[in-house]
C-alpha cells in the first residue's frame, strides 16, 4: 500500500506516474527487440513490485499499446513531421503510450496524459525531445479529445 496521497477515486498519482515510466521502458525495449506480450510484461513486472507502482495500470498501458499499435500509430501520423519509425525511440514510446491513453482511457484527463508524456520524455529522452512530444500531443488531443480540450 502506498503512503502517497490518493485521490477521492482511489487513484494514487505517484504510483500511476511510476507505472507510466515503467511502461515507457517496456515499450522502448519492445521497439528495439519485439517479443511476446507475456514475456515483456514478466520482464518488467518484478521491477514494478519492487518500485511500488500501479502494476494493473502498467499492464494496461503495455497491453493496450501492443494490441492497438496500428490504431495508435494512425492517430499520431497526421501530427508527425516524419514517419513513426523515424521518431526517436524514447519519444516514440512516450507518444504511443499517450495516444493509447487518449484513445482508450477517457477516465484520464488529456492534460494529465500530455504532462506525464512530457515528464517521461524529459527524464529518459533527448534534451529537447519533450517539446516535440508536447507539440504532437497537443494536436492529437485537440482531435481525439476535442470536446474535453475546449473546456
Domain span at 39: 13-149
Is residue 60 one of the residues assigned to a domain?
yes
Report percent pLDDT > 70 for the chain. Answer: 88
pLDDT at position 2: 44
pLDDT 10s digits, 107-150? 999 999 999 999 999 999 999 999 999 999 999 999 999 877 66
pLDDT 10s digits, 70-103? 999 999 999 999 999 999 999 999 999 999 999 9
Q: How many domains does the chain have?
A: 1
pLDDT at position 48: 58
Is residue 1 one of the residues assigned to a domain?
no
Is residue 5 one of the residues assigned to a domain?
no
Is residue 3 one of the residues assigned to a domain?
no
Is residue 2 one of the residues assigned to a domain?
no
Q: How confident is the model at residue 53 (pLDDT cuts 50, 70, 90)?
A: confident
Q: Report the CATH number at residue 47.
A: 1.10.940.10
102-109 LR contacts (CB < 8 Å, sep 24+): 102/75, 102/137, 102/140, 102/141, 102/144, 102/145, 103/68, 103/71, 103/72, 103/75, 103/144, 104/64, 104/68, 105/60, 105/64, 106/145, 109/148
pLDDT at position 10: 73
pLDDT at position 43: 85
Is residue 63 one of the residues assigned to a domain?
yes
Would you list the DSSP string of 83-145?
-GGGS-HHHHHHHHHHHHHHHH-TTS-HHHHHHHHHHHHHHHS-TTHHHHHHHHHHHHHHHHT
Amino acid at each position: 500500500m502506498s503512503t502517497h496521497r490518493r485521490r477521492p477515486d482511489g487513484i494514487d498519482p505517484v504510483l500511476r506516474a511510476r507505472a507510466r515510466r515503467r511502461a515507457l521502458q517496456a515499450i522502448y525495449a519492445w521497439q528495439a527487440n519485439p517479443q511476446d506480450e507475456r514475456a515483456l510484461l514478466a520482464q518488467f513486472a518484478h521491477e514494478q513490485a519492487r518500485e511500488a507502482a500501479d502494476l494493473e495500470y502498467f499492464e494496461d498501458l503495455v497491453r493496450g499499446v501492443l494490441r492497438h499499435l496500428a490504431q495508435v500509430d494512425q492517430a499520431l501520423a497526421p501530427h508527425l513531421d516524419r514517419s513513426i519509425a523515424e521518431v526517436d525511440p524514447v519519444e516514440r514510446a512516450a507518444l504511443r503510450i499517450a495516444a493509447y491513453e487518449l484513445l482508450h482511457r477517457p477516465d484520464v484527463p488529456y492534460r494529465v496524459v500530455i504532462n506525464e508524456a512530457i515528464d517521461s520524455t524529459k527524464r529518459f529522452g533527448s534534451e529537447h525531445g519533450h517539446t516535440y512530444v508536447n507539440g504532437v500531443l497537443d494536436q492529437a488531443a485537440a482531435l481525439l479529445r476535442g470536446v474535453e480540450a475546449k473546456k
